[in-house]
């Protein structure tokens, strides 16, 4: 994978440690987990701007998006955070969206995928990149591992027929879905 591309991280990414006070369990609105341990959202809300932005950049490689989402903290709940993240993704300027798309990598193929599958995927992505100027992006986190390859190849084939403006919208939506999925995983309590 080229060094400028973010790896696909299906697992969780560490969120920044707490750098300022957080509500105690008996404070109205507190969402501390049992035992007084701050929730991931509380740690995110309490983190320094730099740490919050760094964590957000693991979800979407867009400094403007990360600054905007981090600057609206604290978020009362994950739903509010995801709504703000979606809005910020929809509002990305074209240059920043292209840069974020360029930082993405193709989803990982399932273990044991044939070399022909890798070859087909790389060839299709090359055709896509030459047509649209950025790598193919698609959200696959809701799929079983054995469905990923077919879904990605079908997605590339069908989207190669799009005109550039239509594909700009589709790619932007997939980028938003990727960021939303990564942000949800980043701030989940591990019970999902």
pLDDT at 116: 82
pLDDT at 107: 78
pLDDT at 14: 44
Please list the rounded mean pLDDT of every run of 10 residues in the chain (192 residues): 38 41 40 72 96 96 97 96 96 92 83 79 91 92 87 93 95 95 87 42
**131: burial class by Cβ within 10 Å (0-12, 13-18, 19+)?**
middle
pLDDT at 5: 38
pLDDT at 34: 57
What whole-number distance in Å separates Cα of residue 177 and Cα of residue 145?
A: 18
Task: Round the CA-based radius of gyration of the chain to a whole number and report it.
Answer: 18
Kindly list the distances between the CA atom of residue 16 and the CA atoms of 13, 43, 45, 52, 182, in Å, as whole numbers in the listed order: 10, 7, 10, 7, 15
SS3 label, residue 169: helix
pLDDT at 33: 53
Question: What is the model's pTM?
Answer: 0.76
pLDDT at 111: 73
Q: Which two tokens stand for residue 84?
A: 């703000």
pLDDT at 4: 33
């Amino acid at each position: 994978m080229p060094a400028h591309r973010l790896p696909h991280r299906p697992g969780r990414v560490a969120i920044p440690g707490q750098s300022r006070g957080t509500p105690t369990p008996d404070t109205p609105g507190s969402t501390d987990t049992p035992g007084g341990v701050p929730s991931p959202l509380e740690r995110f809300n309490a983190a320094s701007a730099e740490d919050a932005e760094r964590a957000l950049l693991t979800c979407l490689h867009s400094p403007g998006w990360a600054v905007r989402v981090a600057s609206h903290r604290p978020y009362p709940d994950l739903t509010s955070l995801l709504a703000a993240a979606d809005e910020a993704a929809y509002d990305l300027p074209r240059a920043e969206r292209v840069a974020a798309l360029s930082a993405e990598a193709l989803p990982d193929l399932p273990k044991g995928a044939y070399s022909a599958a890798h070859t087909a995927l790389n060839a299709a992505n090359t055709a896509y990149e030459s047509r649209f100027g950025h790598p193919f992006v698609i959200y696959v986190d809701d799929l079983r591992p054995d469905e990923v390859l077919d879904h990605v190849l079908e997605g590339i084939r069908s989207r190669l027929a799009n005109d550039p403006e239509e594909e700009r919208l589709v790619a932007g939506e997939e980028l938003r879905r990727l960021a939303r999925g990564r942000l949800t995983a980043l701030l989940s309590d591990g019970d999902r």
